[in-house]
Structure 1
Amino acid sequence: MNIVCIAWGSLLWQPGPLKLASGWHPGGPLLPLEFVRDSDDSAELALALCPGAAPVPTYWAYLDTGDLDTARAMLRQREKITPGRPEWVGSIPSELASGEQATVAAWLRARSIDAAVWTALPPKFDGVDGRVPSGAEVLAFLAGLEGETRQAAEHYIRRTPPHVDTRYRRLIEACLGWRPLREAAVTRMR
């Protein structure tokens, strides 16, 4: 079974324990993403699947496993997702339905790929899973960060590939000046 991981944020430059069998390729499925998840272990405002957000391009890479359970476990470990939240690791095939299932399934069929995994964490803001912050809240959150915490948050946003062009990203660029880094281009990815 050939299995890919679909990614859009820090997995692209920091796959960690996720064992890749290829580099990252552009042309993944278009998914509704936005900078709407405050991280549990850092101050970054991460990209997450966000109902109602405009679909944006993603990336994909083959995983170094032919077993879907192993692929899900690798991604769960990398994303620090507890086993009690299986719905936070999306996959096809899957017993759990998600909003992006049809989009990813069509994308897989068009490429003759057997299976995929992706991070399916929901939006989270101010400690509340499922809460989507407003643009003003995003700006206030990021502008209120200081020192290394602010640098880490800025690095995450600026390192995200430029064509992952979301509404909040444009707002952050306009108000904070955090434009994509040149190194964020696809050619620099593994």
Structure 2
Amino acid sequence: MNIACLGWGSLIWKTEALPVEGSWLTDGPQVPIEFSRVSDGGELSTAICLNGATVPVLWARLATDSLPAACEALRQREQIPAERTDGVGRLVVGESATGPLSQWARQNQLDAVIWTALPPRFALLEGRTPSVEEAIAWLAGLRGEQQQHARDYIEQVPAQIDTPYRRAIKQQLGWG
């Protein structure tokens, strides 16, 4: 089984337990991504944001032919609790699979695609997307190491993840 993982944030530069084969490629599918999830470290990380603008994400083939093993490796890398069922997204490419992601996967001769599927999170509310003003206020309110960590995160996210929030953060805070 030929399996790929999609990425748009720290997974790119910190793969850890994920068995990436080769390097991350920049010609991934268009996915609605935004800086919309306050992570445990305080940074405003990237997440799928269904009402966000689409950007071309990165992707890498995985050195496993087992979809359950690939999903488990991604779950561990993202530190998603085992009881949480919504943290890893997957698409198995088959005769009945349709849509842009299926087309992209077929063009790249993939049998399956996985990705981190954690939703936006703001003000401790899972599923809540901050407004751009709230996002900037959150980042501007961080101090010391936490602020530096948040800035480093934004600056390490690949440039092709060029979202409206990222442009506003750069304009107003000078980050990234």
Place the TM-score, normalised by the shorter chain, in its bin.
over 0.9
Instruction: Identify the match of residue 167 of structure 1 among 164, 167, 173.
Output: 164
What is the aligned partner in structure 1 of residue 46 from structure 2?
47
Alignment partners' CA distance in 2, 1:18 and 1:102 = 26
TM-score, normalisation: structure 2: 0.94
Q: Unaligned stretches of 5+ in structure 2? A: none
In the TM superposition, residue 88 of structure 1 has moved relative to its aligned partner by 1.6
Shift of 1:103: 3.1
Structure 1 residue aligned with 2:62: 63
Unpaired runs of 5+ residues, structure 1, are 95-100, 180-190
Q: Deviations over 1:91-133 (max 9, x none)?
A: 1129xxxxxx833222101221111110011011011011010
Instruction: Determine the structure 2 residue equivalent to 1:87.
Output: 86
Query: Within 5 A, what are the aligned runs for 1:100-115?
Result: 102-115=99-112
Whole-angstrom distance in 2 between the partners of 1:35 and 1:87: 19
Counterpart of 2:134 (choices 115, 134, 137) is 137
User: How many aligned residue pairs are there?
Assistant: 172
Asked if the contact 2:36–2:129 (Cα under 8 Å) also holds between the matched residues in 1, the reply is yes
Structure holding more strand per residue: 2
Name the structure with the higher helix share.
Answer: 1
The C-alpha deviation readout for 1:132-189, integer Å capped at 9, x for no partner, is 101111011000001110000000001111121101001100000002xxxxxxxxxx
Moved over 3 A (4+): none
1:118 aligns with 2:104: no
Is the 8 Å Cα contact of residues 32 and 53 (structure 2) preserved in structure 1? yes
User: Could you tell me which residue of structure 1 aligns to residue 17 of structure 2?
Assistant: 17
Give the percent of matched residue pairs that are identical in Structure 1 and Structure 2.
45
